Structure 1
């Protein structure tokens, strides 16, 4: 496979669609279907920075709150052990704008068949199955040993707002959304077209289950992580 950026491929497809659209009266061609591939990593040297808030809850003390920044950079192409073209994703971290980015981890991502895969900490997750459709479901843990974990597509191609900034075309992947009187487990990611991940939320919380507080959302212990886009571009 020639080493072309995904953005180049998307551009070629887009230009083909425009050419077809401009001559539709003559050729009666049909626009290609939207697969949703433009929600995944789209180009080499693309970066996205995020503001992260991490809260840990305890029964006997006040919550601990950490605020920091994460940066993900699509660094380069490489050929993996399966002889497939993959992306090297470098993750950096710092506490605030005044600090220098420090590399924290290296992930990989690739498209295999109709699946978009991302490997984090030696665990591979199925981020997307193309073409995307509303309420579509797949096993996000199909390539690891963590047990079945159904991901569901919601709000496909809908707008999403973060801090008064509107991203006109996004998709939400709900990984878990379980809530009872005594606990809450929620994991979801929002992706924007041409950018990738713009928002993520991961909550695992246990509420007070005593007679005088059950049902009042009083947190005994747990953890909550929220990550939202700060900036993006190309280096």
Structure 2
């Protein structure tokens, strides 16, 4: 490469790097710790759309829809002397109704983990720094029995409700599919927002010779919660 060409190449490379640093070129630098997926900000809220479906043999599926809002209400010092977060969950059937307090839970982020406590049960939600395909026991801090999750699609984009999130992570507790049943427990978190998608599915399929393999549901339940919007009060 000639000296003049080398000089121009270096200038171009420098300008491209600066553009990326300023986020002008659409490139995204992923966080290295994963802290951004657990992102408590005072008075920040996230609203969700929820659909619950119950299946029963020889009956039409029973579908229930409603909305949930989770609000970072306050920060406090817990019995271990650590900063913790009080989160309030609200419920309503539709946008014409006022929000009603549904439940309260707490969570906290330490240097190497994030915990969530509800109904006197503590779950290990994250281990930091996050790495793709890493696993941990979410019940490490309770007596419910070992239950491992696995990290998938770390720092990958995800779209929910036609809203695009450039940096997300999937936490998969269960994702088993056979000819006779389907079991899924999945959560997706977005950097700077938190939880944007959750699914809990447990379905039993028809397994008689005339319908096996056709995914015809005999009975079971499906719970899907999707991000709607977030903001601050």
TM over 0.5: yes
Into which bin does the TM-score normalised by the smaller protein fall? Answer: 0.7 to 0.9
* TM-score, normalised by the number of residues in structure 1: 0.84
Q: Tell me which of 159, 162, 166 is aligned to 1:161.
A: 159
Other-structure match for 1:187: 185
Contact 2:69 2:90 in 1 (8 A): yes
Q: 1:217: which partner in 2? A: 215
Structure 1 ranges of 4+ moved more than 6 A: none
Match of 2:59 among 58, 61, 69: 61
* Structure 1 partner of 2:39: 41
Q: How far apart are the structure 2 equivalents of 1:112 and 1:34?
A: 16
- The answer (yes or no) to whether the contact 2:51–2:224 under 8 Å persists in 1 is yes
Give the alignment partner of residue 68 of structure 2, picking from 54, 70, 86. Answer: 70
Report which stretch shifted further, 77-86 or 122-131: 77-86
Using the alignment, how far apart are the partners of 2:221 and 2:165 within structure 1? Answer: 28
Q: CA deviation at 1:32?
A: 11
Correspondence list, 1:191-206, <5 A = 191-206=189-204
Which structure has the greater CA radius of gyration? 2
- Residues 211 and 33 of structure 1, relative CA distance in 2, 3 Å threshold: closer
CA distance in structure 2 between the aligned counterparts of 1:33 and 1:78, rounded to whole angstroms = 27
The aligned residue for residue 229 of structure 1 is: 227
Q: Which moved more, 1:206-215 or 1:185-194?
A: 206-215
Other structure's SS at 1:62 match:
coil
TM-score (normalised: structure 2): 0.85
Deviation of residue 113 (structure 1)? 4.4
Unaligned runs of 5+ in 1: 1-20, 22-30
2: CA distance between counterparts of 1:156 and 1:32? 9
Q: Aligned equivalents of 1:123 and 1:219: distance in 2?
A: 32
Q: Tell me by how many angstroms 1:33 deviates.
A: 6.8
Alpha-carbon RMSD:
2.0
Q: CA separation in 2, counterparts of 1:93 and 1:33?
A: 32
Instruction: Give 1:126 shift.
Output: 0.9
